[in-house]
Structure 1
Amino acid sequence: MTGTVLMVTHFEGTDLKWIHKLVHARGLQSQLAQPFAGEELPELGSLAAVICLGGPQSAYDGERHPFLVEEQNFLARAVEQQVPVLGICLGSQILSLALGGAVVHGSQGLECGLIDVRLAPGNHSILELEGQFFSFHSDSFVPPIGAELLAVSNRYPQAWRFGSALAVQFHPEISPIGIQALLSVEATKLGAHGIDVTELLSAAVRDEGHAWTGAQRVVGGWLDTAVLATERQPIP
């Protein structure tokens, strides 16, 4: 197994600062793919893992954004070949579609800002998913049949796993710089919901230390348990 972690992004300026830090601290290499900009996805045989990140698109809008369908097929093949895959926000929804689940418009409205994530009953993951994390989404995944629900908020399911795949709806990876970039991309949606962007950014800056700890627990923990294992296997 090689030591390259592929990061799939969906808009210019995606925050990769903390992911790079966590990946490189473990002696792994990082590679960027931007299918939204016309870049091709690499061969799976060259990769140790895949992280599929967030973006402004709707995962089910493959007709408008054909690259999303290509990503679905790519992630399905990755899981079939037991390559560790982490899907975050939009990435978690693409992963759900890739594995036979669904993505729907959220019945509880926009979930935006710091949210409390709690473990789902029967959670058997060794990852520390519980805590407060930044979230921004109005669509929600329906996990594929056979997936184990790991975490929820008071509005939506937040994490599940299936084979070598881990999906999280919230953002364990994002820094204040990334939140600022995300909010600028989502300006239209924010305005429609009357969101106070200044307060969101202020809260993100105040919470930076706690957010970095969460990134180490979730993303770093996933790298340790799923990627650095001696053999490719589902997260225990």
Structure 2
Amino acid sequence: MTPTPTKQVTLLITHNPDPDIDQVCQILDNRKKTWRHIQPFAGDKLPNLHEVSQVICFGGPYAAYDQDRFPFLREEAQFLRDAVDADIPVLGICLGSQILAEALGGTSRPGDHGLECGFVDVVPVAGQEDVAHQLTGRYFSFHTDSIDLPPGAELLAVSQRYPQAWRQGSALAIQFHPEMSVTGIRELLRIEKVKIRQHGINVENLMAEAENNRALLQQGAEKVIGGWIDHADARAPVHTGESP
């Protein structure tokens, strides 16, 4: 049975002490959406499903398959699985997409093509052009892990190296980062400087590209995340609170 949300709240789940979610919060505020931000890795408790109407699960430095070491990842996977079972819209981004894969019967694992870092072109797979048009574009990406799709999931879009978007039921998973700002990219590159050095990434060139693509980053956030919110709102049942 689908729980009727007692509040129309978009839940934001993050995995960094200082997450780069300002653009997402602004998108929600522009739509007069109520949102709540929690950090399970820091001890925040996941709410009851009836308290939320949408869930966005963001990226972070963890591996979704490392649940024995980080039990909160297992708790998040169960929460996302329950949300999808309840037909609550869920958007997973990067690590969030990998947690979704684990939650829905797929697997996350180290990627076959190493570090994907920088701006990548996300293109629809054959036959999915109509449903993936909202995702098509150029976005920032940073990851070494990837996924094997859950049974029954539909692959929507790819880059040259990795799966980039898939869906199953009320869940949409994306590997790239439409939410990130120039400031967030700079901080990510600072935090991941060891990995970046190992892979020979030119940070100065990458930051120059980010600076030159400020408008593209903002447009991508509105297109992908704003579009997902609008679609989720359009498909949500209207609960009047009146007795049948």
- TM-score bucket of the superposed structures, by smaller chain: over 0.9
Q: Say whether 1:166 aligns with 2:172.
A: yes
Structure 1: which 5+ residue stretches go unaligned? none
Q: 2:35 aligns with which of 30, 36, 55?
A: 30
Q: Which amino acid aligns with 1:204?
A: A
Q: Note the alpha carbon deviations across 1:99-145, whole angstroms, 9 max, x for none.
A: 00111211111100000110111114265111100000001011211
Q: How does 1:1-236 map to 2 (within 5 A)?
A: 1=5, 2-123=7-128, 124-125=130-131, 128-231=134-237
Give the secondary structure class of the aligned counterpart of 1:134: strand
Report the Cα offset of residue 181 of structure 1: 2.0
The percentage of aligned residue pairs carrying the same residue is 48
Report the Cα offset of residue 157 of structure 1: 0.7
Report the Cα offset of residue 228 of structure 1: 4.3
Q: Note the alpha carbon deviations across 1:54-94, whole angstroms, 9 max, x for none.
A: 00111101111111111000100000011100000000000
Whole-angstrom CA distance in 2 between matches of 1:44 and 1:188: 39
CA contact (8 A) 1:127 1:218 kept: no
Structure 2: which 5+ residue stretches go unaligned? 239-244
Question: For the pair shown, which has the larger CA radius of gyration, 1 or 2?
Answer: 2
CA contact (8 A) 1:127 1:217 kept: no
Whole-angstrom CA distance in 1 between matches of 2:190 and 2:210: 14
Whole-angstrom CA distance in 1 between matches of 2:174 and 2:236: 24
CA contact (8 A) 2:58 2:93 kept: yes
Whole-angstrom CA distance in 1 between matches of 2:21 and 2:135: 20
Provide TM-score, normalisation by structure 1.
0.94
CA contact (8 A) 1:84 1:227 kept: no
